[in-house]
Amino acid sequence: MSKASEFSYGWVVVAIGALMTCVAFGAMLSLAVFLQPISEAMGWSRSGISAAATIDFLAMGFAAFFWGALSDRFGTRIVVLSGTLLLGAGLIGASQATSLWQFQFAFGVLIGIAAGSFYAPMIAVASAWIERQRSLAVALVSAGMGVSPLTMAPFASWLITTYDWRTAMLVIGIVALALLIPASLLVRQPPEPSSSAAAQGADAPDGQWTVAQALRTPQFVTLALAHFACCAAHSGPIFHMVSYAMVCGIAPLTAVTVYSLAGFSGLGGRLLLGVLADRLGAKHVLVGGLFVQALSIATFLAVGQLGEFYALSVIFGLAYGGVMPLYAVLVREYFGVRIMGSVFGAVSAFASIGMALGPLAGGWVFDTFHAYRWLYIGSFAIGMAAVAVAFSFPSAKRPSQPSIDLGRAAA
């Protein structure tokens, strides 16, 4: 395979990854659209239905490490194909559920496990394909998550309005299978890295990392804690953004547009910070993005007018969306291609736990204090902790082998 064809097909893999994250996460997050129709049709409590979302994030987090390890061992294609079948089974099964526990199992457990099979493995394989613009490639795969609220949610809403919630969820399951099965078959393993440094990580010690060694390093611990704190900080404000805008007097339908604008800005943030990371370095951009995210969270306490909400949602979206792919870039730089699926899957597991905490914490704060003030104060504090942890990210031990380019490692 020529270098030109390798380069071209690498971007095909990136496009496939973006499609997969869009469909998978869009299907999972569409639960917000289904919440009211299911509650009215089935008589189930909203908290019971919403619990499926928490189960989603927890299941995705615990499954991410295992999916990543399987992709390292058996290749990405079989992993994403298995996840596709599980995603379709979860959606179709949830559409036929007759009791709340059946719905929570199908939509929470099955779909959560399935969602974990796409993000880390596709990020890993895409970053292995693309070397020179790796941050941008990872950002584009991650951008599928940013596009999902703008595509799957309106599609689900139209289906529910036209038919009913069961038909809508069934159709989404069938569409997911129809799109992702062919896409899975197009996934190819990358060619051999151009150098041993690329294979092992530019700053890796002599020899090759094992997963056990990697999980005991300061680099892994720092990235896992930073990603956890990052997601714990922004998940509550994101999930409760519409409710907070309504508390401030914004009309319900208009409040939804604030949330949508933040999601759209998150898409732009992934691309912008991805390009900046290729030029300035992923760590520096990550620390800056986390700092802007924390300040944005605190600023929510000072806004009340629609124009202010719109302006802040743009900045907040750019920050929280932009930092998400950078953790994968750092994993790739320091641990290399060979075990990236396993290591990034483990980092993603911590992030998913952080995502699961925010909505629950926000709900508890509002039920207890009848206001969201302490949600934003607590999220700001956690966000600043994420800045401090990311800033402390240590450099790897410099390799002594003369075959490795120390100038490239320093970059």
Quick one: average pLDDT of 81-94?
96
Most confident of 10-14, 126-130, 200-204: 10-14
Residues 334-384 pLDDT 10s: 887 778 778 888 898 899 889 888 877 877 887 788 888 999 999 999 999
Residue 144 domain boundaries: 1-189
Write down which residue in 121, 154, 189 finishes a domain: 189
- When pLDDT is cut at 50, 70 and 90, the band that residue 36 belongs to is confident
Residues 225-276 pLDDT 10s: 999 999 999 988 887 787 788 889 988 667 777 877 887 888 888 888 888 8
Angle at 220 between CA 6 and CA 110, to 5 degrees: 75
| From 81-90, 97-106, 193-202, 389-398, the region with the lowest mean pLDDT | 193-202
- Note whether 101 and 213 are same-domain residues: no
pLDDT at 293: 97
Q: What is the pTM of this model?
A: 0.73
- In the block, tokens 């124009």 appear at 307
> What is the CATH number for 67?
1.20.1250.20
Q: Which residue in 284, 285, 258, 18 sits closest to 126, CA to CA?
A: 18
Radius of gyration of the chain (CA): 21
d(C-alpha 66, C-alpha 114), whole Å: 11
Question: Is residue 26 included in any domain, yes or no?
Answer: yes
- Note whether 201 and 103 are same-domain residues: no
- Note whether 153 and 213 are same-domain residues: no
| From 6-15, 200-209, 231-240, 374-383, the region with the lowest mean pLDDT | 200-209
- When pLDDT is cut at 50, 70 and 90, the band that residue 194 belongs to is low
- Note whether 90 and 225 are same-domain residues: no
Q: What is the mean pLDDT of the chain?
A: 83
pLDDT at 310: 94
Please indicate whether residue 383 or residue 394 has the higher confidence score (pLDDT).
383
Residues 143-193 pLDDT 10s: 787 777 677 877 887 898 889 999 999 999 999 999 999 999 999 888 765
- Note whether 185 and 230 are same-domain residues: no
pLDDT at 5: 47
| Whether pLDDT at 220 is above 80 | yes
Name, in order, each residue with C-beta under 8 angstroms of 171's C-beta and a sequence gap of 6 or more. Answer: 159, 163
| Whether pLDDT at 103 is above 90 | yes
- When pLDDT is cut at 50, 70 and 90, the band that residue 2 belongs to is very low
Q: Which residue in 28, 10, 27 sits closest to 140, CA to CA?
A: 10
Residue at 286: amino acid letter: L
- Note whether 88 and 201 are same-domain residues: no
- Note whether 234 and 122 are same-domain residues: no
| Whether pLDDT at 65 is above 60 | yes
| Whether pLDDT at 107 is above 80 | yes
d(C-alpha 379, C-alpha 74), whole Å: 39
The pair of three-digit structure tokens given for residue 141, joined into one six-digit string: 């795969």
